[in-house]
Structure formats: C-alpha cells, structure tokens
Amino acid sequence: MTSIATPDPTPERAASLQCGRHRLDLSFPRVMGILNVTPDSFSDGGRHVALDDALRRAEQMLAEGAAVIDVGGESTRPGADAVPEQQELDRVAPVVEALVRELDALVSVDTSSARVMRECAVRGASMINDVRGLEREGALSAAASSGLPVCLMHRQGEPQDMQHAPRYDVPIESAVAEYLGERVSACEAAGISRQQLLLDPGFGFGKSVEHNLRLLNRMRSLEALGLPLLVGMSRKSMIGKVLGRPVEERLAGGLALSAIAVERGAKILRVHDVGATVDAVTMAWAVLQEGCEPSNYKESLS
C-alpha cells in the first residue's frame, strides 16, 4: 500500500534570526548573558568606572560563550520601583554604545520605553527585549522602525505588585499562549514581521511557583505559535522556593531548569551564569541530537 505524504505538523521555524548587522544562528540553543546596569549592579565610583566594569563583565560573558548581551537599566524584579525614562536612558545608552564599539557585540536592550528603543537602535543595538510585549505607548512603532527583532514576553501586572497572589482563570499555558498570540498580531499590524519575533513565557512575572513549574513543563504547547522561544529563569525565586536557597546559591537549580527548557524547545536562555549554562545546554543538546556537531566539540581532555 502506498502512503500519502502528510505535511509536517510542526510549523517552519527560522533557524536563524537577522539581528541588525549580526546573524544569530538558532539551529542550536544559545545563551544570552544578563548585564544589569542599575546602580546596585556595578561599583558606584562614577560613570566611567561603572562603564568599564560593565564592558569587562560583557567581555567575560562573551568569552564564556554568550551569543547575546542583554543590557537592562530598569529593575523589573518583583517589588522594584519604576525608573524614570531619562534615567534608564542615561544608564543604558553609554553601555550599549561601548559594547558595540569596543566589542562588536550582539546587544539586546531590555526595555519597554519607545525612546530607549530608538536611542539604543541608533547606537547599534541588535535586538529589543520587552517584558511588556511592546504595550507601552509608541513601543510598537519604535520597534517597527528600528527593523530589529523583538522578544515579546508575557506578564501579569506590573513589577510593583505582580507577585501579590497571582491568579489565572484558565490554565497558565493557555493564558500565556493567548496573550503572546495577540501581541504577535499587534506586531504584524504595526509592520513587524513574524520572522522578527521571539516569544518568552515570562517566568516569575505575575506567577506563583506552581504556575512557573507547570509553564516550564508544558512549554511545548507554546511551540504551536511557531516562533523561537526565549526563557529567563536564572536565579529567580522559583528556584529559591523549591530548594530553599538564597539568590547566591541558585546556580545548580538554574542549570537543571536550563536543561529542561532546552528539552522543551527553548532556543535562547537568558542567564547570569554564562559559562556554566553553555556547558549545561551543550550537554543537553548533545543528548537530544544523539551526538554533536564537530564544531561544538570542546577541546577535550580525554
């Protein structure tokens, strides 16, 4: 009996993403290193010292295998206060400019502000990462005119109040998929093509520990949206709550989550601990591929 070929049920997925002048290969999992440029992140001995520290930290993350450096000047941790736009710009813009000029890095900017998006795009940023899914005024058109790819993240509430007893009327994965689908449509209507988008479930943003664990376990259901997935779980309270560990003791928990995320289809992992995460996801990917590309082999000791 002859069989009729059935179409592949999984949608075509872009194996790479054009990010300004950089091309990001997403045919294997990539690591995005977090560079916070909030006053608590770097020594406060004046702007130049902080800039130099930020550059050195980024250089170290690139040496450890980060494909992207995500620069953020607004603390979106639970309970954090809002940062005025001018202050956010003053923190982020010089760092973006320096990373581009000195390191030619693929820089992503973690912002919800249209003005910060525009100012960073002209300074050579290669990606926009918005935890508010381009919902703020002017953000859709700022992102569209930049021509840069955008990561759209799900959240419930604002950082000031989002962890106060989060509740959902539908299963968390359905709520997240519905929201992200709506934001993809809004982007397309604003002239941002689907090929320019990444999606993020938004771990820790208005979600209980149970919501976060279920969302990770069921992340495959988000693949139906047909876009590459980015996840950020590094050092977050879902690890602290399960393991009973303070923020500085969450690395092993985060590596376990990264390996699971890769198995569930994540293509970019946004993390603080780049070197350890590169090893964890390279190992997880080798299992999933039942081997590894020669170019991905590390110089081996044995």
Q: Which is nearer to ligand YH5, 79 or 84 (CB)?
A: 79
Give residues 219-238 in contact with ligand YH5 (rule: CB under 6 A): 230, 232, 235-237
Q: Which of 111, 113, 129, 208 binds ligand YH5 (CB under 6 A)?
A: 129
3-state secondary structure at position 264: coil
Query: Judged by CB, which is closer to ligand YH5: 100, or 233?
Result: 233
Please name which of 273, 206, 260 lies closest in space to residue 229, comparing C-alpha atoms: 260
DSSP state of 4: P
- Report d(CA 77, CA 55) in Å as an integer: 23
Residue 47 is among the residues annotated as catalytic for this protein: no
Nearer to ligand YH5, 129 or 146 (CB): 129
The DSSP letter of residue 67 is S
CB of 202 to ligand YH5, least distance (A): 6
- Contact assessment for residue 154 and residue 180, using Cβ atoms and an 8 Å cutoff: yes
Identify whether 267 is a catalytic site residue: no
Q: Per-residue contact track with ligand YH5, 187 to 206, x per CB under 6 A?
A: -------------x-xxx--
The upper half-sphere exposure of residue 27, i.e. CA atoms within 13 Å in the direction of its Cβ, equals: 7
d(CA 237, CA 240): 5
Spell out the alpha helix ranges (H) of 123-250. Answer: 139-146, 172-189, 209-217, 237-243
Q: What tokens does 15 get?
A: 């194996």
- Interface with ligand YH5 includes 133 (CB under 6 A)? no
Indicate the pairing of strand 107-110 with strand 68-72. Answer: parallel
Site for ligand YH5 in 97-116 (CB under 6 A): 110
Site string for ligand YH5, 31-60 (x = CB under 6 A): ------------------------------
Catalytic residue among 155, 235, 236, 250: 236
Rule CB under 6 A: say whether 30 interacts with ligand YH5: no
d(CA 125, CA 103): 12
To the nearest whole angstrom, how small is the minimum distance from the Cβ of residue 230 to ligand YH5?
5
- Active-site residue set: 236, 270
Q: Which residues lie near ligand YH5 (CB under 6 A)?
A: 76-77, 110, 129, 131, 151, 153, 200, 202-204, 230, 232, 235-237, 247, 270
